[in-house]
Amino acid sequence: MCHGDDVTTTHLFSCRFGYSVWQRCYQRLGFEQVLPGSSCAYFWHHQGYGHWMTFWLVVIWLIWLQRNTIIFRGKQACVQEVVDSVVFKTWSWVKAYYARDTFSFSD
């Protein structure tokens, strides 16, 4: 992802790859916004808004998995692949939470 940069909690949000994932995820949801400047600000930004915390956790988890895939398997980083996975996993987790058969992807 960032070719040997130290990985910190802030790095998951501020490196070019992580920042691009966050921006595209928000765009996919129809939001244009300035991203917070710290990992704590990202966290608090998603607190208390229904399933926004689920979204936040999925994005962090998938950026981390992508990082591991790059490091341990030598795969190239793909922002769109992570964004698509974020959308699907967030939907899946929210659907599992509600355990409704009629919960559609567009909900």
Tell me the per-residue pLDDT of 15-67, one tens digit each, with 9 for 90 and over: 888 889 989 998 988 887 766 666 666 666 666 666 778 888 899 899 989 98
Looking at the whole model, is its pTM more than 0.85? no
Tell me the C-alpha to C-alpha distance, in Å, between residue 72 and each of 11, 15, 54, 65, 85.
19, 19, 27, 10, 20
What 3-state DSSP class applies to 102? coil
Identify which has the larger pLDDT, 96 or 47: 96
